[in-house]
Amino acid sequence: METMRRRLLQWACAGTAGLAFPALAAKKPSGDNVMRLGQSTALTGNNGAVGRQFRDAALAWFEQVNGQGGAGGFKMELATLDDGGVVERATTNAKLLTSTHGAAGFFGFAGPGANREGMQVALAEGVPFIAPVSGMDVLRQRENANVFLLRASHRDEIRQIIRHTSSTGITRVGLLFEYESAGWEIRDSFAQAADAARLASSVSSSVSRGSADVAAAVPVLTAANPQAIILAANPSASAAFVRAARKAGYGGGFYTVSTVGGQVLLDQLGPLAVGISVAQVVPFPWGGGSVISREFLAFCGDSKITPDFASMEGYMAARWLTEALKRAKPKEATPAALASALEKMPPINLGGFPLAFSPDTRSASSFVELTVVSNALKFLK
């Protein structure tokens, strides 16, 4: 990993507000046969583990590709700036990535604020916004011609969870969400799915953005006596809610959306995580039950990467991008060439996992699978 980090660009900085950024700076070719990508994500704070896992796997894949001559004739570089989950830092980072680091595209942004603001900066700067770690609907509008998503939406995840609860006879479901734009989308998706499933009752409550204070939410949700509660707040708030709800005597089940970070939740809760069902938007990374998981596990062994869902997503996103460049063979490392390579990417099987980019949803996959935490504190399908 140290060799990889020396050979690939990787920065972590907070940045400062109020700087002037030249418009369209990233429209120039990157030069030196290098395709430079920029990422703003939380490497520290509540979602730091997820950001690090995604980044490390993507970097390791780019290192492997570079050792084999690059992708479409270009070496891959990734500059990562730590935003700590702070929206203002994410905005500054996005501007720095084009103006200072010369990114031809944004890659793997994570967190509602980083993705919302990052998409706007990408649009203003004329660079593609690639594989954000987000289920936000606002990214999935057909008019967002610069957005290229790998994963399913939160709407897809909520629908799958409600289908599962309904199939097991559950008719009363609650939702914990974060009071910000992504959380509002999840709340609305939950209401729609609950209506479609004709649930007997559905109730929702929120926590403030970035907060782990669940004191007000616990009585609101538990008083309704739901048979299951969906966790869709940040990992710390979701873990705090489970602890407080169990202490208050709640005995129902818990489900989470993928962006809560199943492994992070497990690490925070320990034995209290047993039985929690976690929605996943990438294939199960362990056990070698599929071609993609066997390839991923071999890659992790060679690259000293810890296999989990976040690193699987980083690996798949990086692999999807380099495959697009290999097929397109662009002449220059420009934002337009990068976007064109992804837009024209035909449907492929990535280790048997189908990816077919749709301009209607701006996404290559709608895959959602539910996993559960076992008594051994492992994920099971």
Token pair recorded at residue 352: 């048997």
Tell me the pairing of strands 353-355 and 369-373.
Answer: unpaired
With CA atoms as reference, report the closest residue to 136 among 154, 151, 150, 120: 154
Nearest-angstrom CA–CA distance, 13 and 9: 13
Tell me the pairing of strands 277-280 and 348-350.
Answer: unpaired
Q: Give me the mean pLDDT over the 11-40 stretch.
A: 55
Label residue 138 exposed, middle or buried (CB < 10 Å: 0-12, 13-18, 19+): middle
160 and 147 within one domain? no
pLDDT value at residue 29: 55
pLDDT value at residue 31: 57
Packing angle of the helix pair 262-269, 235-247 (nearest 10 deg) = 40
Looking at the domain assignment, is residue 375 inside a domain?
no
- First and final CA of the chain: distance in angstroms? 30
Looking at the domain assignment, is residue 55 inside a domain?
yes
Q: What are the φ and ψ backbone dihedral angles of 372, each rounded to 5 degrees?
A: -140, 145
CA distances, 56 to each of 47, 50, 163, 370, 372 (Å): 15, 10, 34, 25, 25
In this predicted structure, the answer to whether residue 1 has a pLDDT above a threshold of 90 is no
pLDDT value at residue 22: 33
Token pair recorded at residue 242: 């489970």
pLDDT value at residue 296: 98
Decide if 149 contacts 119 (C-beta within 8 A): no
60 and 169 within one domain? no
Q: Give me the mean pLDDT over the 70-92 stretch.
A: 95
Q: If pLDDT is split at 50, 70 and 90, which confidence band does 20 have?
A: very low
294 and 275 within one domain? no
pLDDT value at residue 207: 97
Nearest-angstrom CA–CA distance, 237 and 240: 5
Q: Which residues pair with 255 in a beta bridge?
A: 230, 277
CA distances, 106 to each of 117, 137, 146 (Å): 12, 18, 10
148 and 8 within one domain? yes
Q: Give me the mean pLDDT over the 214-228 stretch.
A: 97
In this predicted structure, the answer to whether residue 28 has a pLDDT above a threshold of 80 is no
For the beta sheet containing 147-148, the strands, ordered from the edge strand earlier in sequence to the opposite edge, are 75-82, 34-41, 105-107, 129-130, 147-148
Question: What pTM value is reported for the model?
Answer: 0.89
164 and 148 within one domain? no
Gyration radius from the chain CA atoms: 20
Between 112 and 52, residue with greater pLDDT:
52
222 and 138 within one domain? no
Summarize pLDDT for 294-320 with one digit per residue, the tens. 999 999 999 999 999 999 999 999 999
310 and 276 within one domain? no
108 and 120 within one domain? yes
**Which are the contacts of 223, defined by CB distance < 8 A and separation ≥ 6?**
none
Q: Which residues pair with 363 in a beta bridge?
A: 149, 358
Looking at the domain assignment, is residue 294 inside a domain?
yes
pLDDT value at residue 25: 37
Token pair recorded at residue 208: 């403030």
| Residue carrying the six token digits 């953005």 | 209
> What is the pLDDT of the chain when averaged over all its residues?
91
Which residue among 237, 256, 280 closes a domain? 280
Q: If pLDDT is split at 50, 70 and 90, which confidence band does 326 have?
A: very high
Q: Which residues pair with 105 in a beta bridge?
A: 37
255 and 198 within one domain? yes
Looking at the domain assignment, is residue 305 inside a domain?
yes
pLDDT value at residue 27: 53
User: What is the number of structural domains in the chain?
Assistant: 2
Quick check: helix, strand or coil at residue 134?
coil
pLDDT value at residue 54: 96
pLDDT value at residue 8: 43
Q: Give me the mean pLDDT over the 7-19 stretch.
A: 36
Q: Give me the mean pLDDT over the 185-194 stretch.
A: 97
In this predicted structure, the answer to whether residue 17 has a pLDDT above a threshold of 50 is no
- Which amino acid, one-letter code, is at 272? L
Longest Cα pair distance anywhere in the chain, in angstroms?
63
248 and 297 within one domain? no
CA distances, 329 to each of 129, 145, 223, 376 (Å): 20, 21, 59, 47
Q: What percent of the chain stands above pLDDT 70?
A: 92
Tell me the pairing of strands 348-350 and 353-355.
Answer: antiparallel
Which residue among 280, 308, 325 closes a domain? 280
214 and 272 within one domain? yes
Q: What range does the domain containing 330 cover?
A: 2-152+289-355
